[in-house]
């Protein structure tokens, strides 16, 4: 389960995906499969959550990793590189960004 606290003892990654309502469900299914079959089993993975906006034009993915290096190592695997090509074909853009937690309320 994700836990947001400061100081953070993990690496936070927020990835946003932009797509059309017609591809939202396909993209969501691909992301769920990626997490269930691969990402959640990678070293350093802590937790993640997927969020969809009402218009089904954006998905936000919040994930936590033990370290920045663990997240980057997962991205470099052949499996994830292939999955990212599939994800890219289902959306207009996607961008993973690493964040540091600086405050919680």
Question: CATH number of the domain that 36 lies in?
Answer: 3.30.70.100
Q: In this structure, is residue 4 part of a structural domain?
A: no
Q: Is 94 helix (H, G, I), strand (E, B) or coil?
A: strand
**pLDDT tier at 89, thresholds 50, 70, 90:** very high
Q: In this structure, is residue 49 part of a structural domain?
A: yes
Structural domains of the chain, count: 1
Are 10 and 64 contacting, i.e. CB atoms less than 8 angstroms apart? yes
**pLDDT tier at 41, thresholds 50, 70, 90:** very high
State what percent of residues in the chain have pLDDT above 70: 100
Residue 78: predicted pLDDT: 98
* pTM higher than the cut 0.95: no
User: What pLDDT, in 10s, does the model give residues 45-87?
Assistant: 999 999 999 999 999 999 999 999 999 999 999 999 999 999 9
Residue 8: predicted pLDDT: 82
Q: In this structure, is residue 22 part of a structural domain?
A: yes
For residue 5, pLDDT over 90 is answered with no
Q: In this structure, is residue 81 part of a structural domain?
A: yes
10 Å CB burial of residue 59 (0-12, 13-18, 19+) is: buried
Residues of the domain holding 53: 11-99
């Amino acid at each position: 389960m994700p836990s947001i606290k400061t100081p953070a003892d993990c690496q936070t990654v927020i990835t946003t995906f932009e797509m059309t309502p017609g591809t939202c469900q396909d993209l969501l299914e691909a992301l769920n499969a990626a997490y269930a079959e691969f990402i959640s089993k990678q070293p350093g993975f802590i937790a993640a959550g997927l969020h969809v906006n009402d218009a089904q034009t954006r998905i936000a993915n919040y994930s936590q990793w033990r370290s920045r290096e663990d997240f980057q190592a997962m991205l470099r695997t052949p499996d994830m590189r292939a999955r990212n090509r599939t994800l890219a074909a289902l959306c207009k853009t996607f961008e993973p960004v690493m964040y540091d937690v600086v405050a919680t309320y």
